[in-house]
């Protein structure tokens, strides 16, 4: 017998209610039955995104929606600001380059949040900038950026603000309309608790103006086509039916808990994880840590890649570092379908495995620190 535990920052655990709903016989999508389901999904997405705007839905992984936000908003030769500072920030720059868009990079040291003032200066320097691209939670470093402040800044310019919230939506606070975030990109396999294969984009009126003049080629990810179909609860192309049906269930669960409570739960679970790690004398990597994933520095003398591998072989999936952070950090997700008892298992797994690998720690200290958070707070 080997039980499996999934503590990776996407995919996250899918609730059994959703798995069983998706295991029902498939239905056709050009039917009143499906359209009713999709209508509920559209409403549920607006609720979670905190927007009045239509949330466009695609059958693709998150990167597809990132590409869509480039190809639909921009024209060849347009200038955009891209906040780097992690693997996913850099991906926006790669996509823009692939589509012939000029990138003004904001280079941020990996593990640090962007300073919104830097973006303000770059915007002030060049009135031709059409968009600012940034991540909400940079999954590769565990950093959460100050999107509220960014929204305030960008809204004063002609540019639109595009936020990759793939691993932040429904786990980290994000008030799309209130904060004046023009475009929010997300995916199904993180806070939304569904298997990967769906991606989403919310689009403000200011952003639709850019869509109107964009000349970059697109077809499958064409915002106008997709919006036109969605407004009739129809789909431009065959949707990923089973995932949409699972998503309706997951959105219902988020609605029932209440999105504010969902966000507080993540804050509490994240705090317990961070305290747990500190209780083991481990150092956090991010200067502004996200409530969706915690990046922890691998202690010296421990082989980081081996640590992740050994845990996996025991049934516990956590994530290592990516790209330049390979072997240097490990990442613990507390995102989606997780409660405090999951956190205790996760902290305990780290504790026991590090000790087995020869790291000096007092057994139970990490778990104790996490429990203290839970006893002070309401989950």
Phi and psi at residue 338, to the nearest 5°: -135, 145
Site membership for a second copy, residue 345 (CB under 8 A)? no
Binds a second copy by CB under 8 A, chosen from 61, 158, 233, 345:
61
Binds a second copy by CB under 8 A, chosen from 53, 71, 72, 135:
71
Site membership for a second copy, residue 2 (CB under 8 A)? no
Q: DSSP string covering 107-173, please?
A: ---TTS---HHHHHHHHHH-TTEEEEEEESEETTTTEE--HHHHHHHHTTSSSEEEEE-TTTTTTS-
Run of H or E residues at 74: none
Terminal C-alpha separation, the chain: 31
Kind of pairing, strands 319-320 and 329-333?
antiparallel
Cα 178 to the chain's mean position, in Å? 19
Structure tokens at 104: 């003004």
Site membership for a second copy, residue 196 (CB under 8 A)? yes
The minimum distance between CB 135 and a second copy, in angstroms, equals 15
Site membership for a second copy, residue 100 (CB under 8 A)? yes
Could you tell me if residue 10 is left (phi over 0), alpha (psi between -120 and 50 degrees) or otherwise beta? left
Select from 169-177, 195-203, 283-291, 362-370 the region that touches a second copy (CB under 8 A). 195-203
Site membership for a second copy, residue 14 (CB under 8 A)? yes
Please, which residue, 244 or 373, has the CB nearer to a second copy?
244
CA dist., res. 132 & res. 147, Å (int): 11
Site membership for a second copy, residue 259 (CB under 8 A)? no
Locate tokens 């793939």: which residue?
Answer: 166
Select from 1-9, 38-46, 247-255, 342-350 the region that touches a second copy (CB under 8 A). 1-9
Query: Hey, which residues does 160 pair with through a beta bridge?
Result: 131
Binds a second copy by CB under 8 A, chosen from 1, 2, 25, 256:
25
Binds a second copy by CB under 8 A, chosen from 44, 64, 276, 304:
64
Binds a second copy by CB under 8 A, chosen from 35, 43, 47, 99:
99
Bond into 354 cis (ω within 30): no
CA dist., res. 292 & res. 337, Å (int): 12
> In sequence order, which residues have a C-beta less than 8 Å from that of residue 314 and are 6 or more positions away?
2, 349, 353
Binds a second copy by CB under 8 A, chosen from 44, 111, 197, 299:
197
Residue 78 DSSP one-character state: -
Please, which residue, 41 or 367, has the CB nearer to a second copy?
41
Residue window 132-171: x/- pattern of binding to a second copy, with contact defined by CB under 8 A: ----------------------------------------
Please, which residue, 150 or 240, has the CB nearer to a second copy?
240
Binds a second copy by CB under 8 A, chosen from 40, 102, 175, 220:
220
Structure tokens at 134: 């940034």
The minimum distance between CB 196 and a second copy, in angstroms, equals 5
The minimum distance between CB 299 and a second copy, in angstroms, equals 23
The minimum distance between CB 13 and a second copy, in angstroms, equals 7
Site membership for a second copy, residue 239 (CB under 8 A)? yes
SS3 label, residue 233: coil
What residues from 312 to 331 belong to the interface with a second copy (CB under 8 A)? 312, 317, 319
Binds a second copy by CB under 8 A, chosen from 1, 2, 24, 205:
24
SS3 label, residue 101: coil
> Please, are residues 159 and 82 in contact by the beta-carbon 8 Å criterion?
no
Q: Residue 181's CB: how many other CB atoms inside 10 A?
A: 29
Site membership for a second copy, residue 26 (CB under 8 A)? yes
Length of the chain: 379
Site membership for a second copy, residue 27 (CB under 8 A)? yes
Task: Return residues touching a second copy (CB under 8 A).
Answer: 4, 6, 8, 10-11, 13-14, 19-20, 22-29, 31, 58-64, 66-67, 71, 94-95, 98-100, 187, 189, 195-197, 216-220, 222, 237-243, 312, 317, 319
């Amino acid at each position: 017998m080997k039980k499996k535990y999934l503590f990776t920052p996407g995919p996250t655990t899918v609730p059994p209610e959703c798995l069983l709903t998706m295991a029902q016989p498939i239905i056709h999508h050009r039917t009143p039955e499906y359209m009713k389901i999709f209508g509920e999904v559209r409403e549920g997405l607006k609720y979670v995104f905190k927007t009045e705007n239509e949330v466009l839905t695609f059958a693709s992984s998150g990167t597809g929606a990132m590409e869509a936000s480039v190809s639909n908003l921009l024209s060849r030769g347009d200038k955009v600001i891209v906040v780097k500072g992690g693997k996913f920030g850099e991906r926006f720059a790669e996509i823009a380059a692939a589509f012939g868009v000029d990138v003004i990079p904001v280079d941020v040291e990996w593990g640090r949040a962007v300073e919104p003032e830097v973006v303000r200066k770059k915007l002030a320097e060049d009135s031709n900038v059409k968009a600012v691209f940034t991540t909400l939670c940079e999954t590769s470093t565990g950093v959460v950026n100050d999107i509220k402040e960014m929204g305030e800044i960008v809204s004063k310019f002609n540019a639109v603000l595009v936020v990759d919230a793939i691993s932040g939506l429904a786990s980290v606070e994000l008030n799309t309309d209130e904060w004046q975030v023009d475009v929010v990109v997300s995916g199904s396999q993180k806070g939304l608790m569904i298997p990967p294969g769906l991606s989403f984009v919310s689009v403000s009126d200011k952003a639709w103006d850019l869509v109107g003049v964009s000349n970059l080629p697109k077809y499958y990810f064409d915002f106008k086509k997709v919006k036109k179909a969605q407004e009739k609860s129809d789909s431009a192309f065959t949707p990923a039916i089973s995932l949409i049906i699972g998503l309706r269930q997951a959105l219902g669960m988020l609605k029932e808990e209440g999105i504010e409570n969902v966000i507080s739960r993540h804050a509490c679970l994240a705090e317990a994880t961070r305290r747990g790690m500190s209780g083991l004398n481990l150092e956090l990597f991010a200067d502004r840590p996200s409530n969706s994933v915690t990046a922890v520095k691998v202690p010296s003398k421990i082989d980081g890649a081996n640590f992740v591998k050994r845990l996996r072989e025991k049934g516990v999936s956590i994530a290592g570092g990516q790209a330049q952070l390979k072997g240097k950090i490990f990442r613990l997700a507390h995102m989606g379908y997780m409660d405090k008892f999951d956190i205790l298992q996760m902290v305990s797994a780290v504790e026991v495995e590090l000790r087995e690998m020869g790291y000096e720690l007092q057994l139970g200290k990490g778990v104790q620190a996490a429990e203290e958070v839970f006893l002070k707070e309401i989950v």
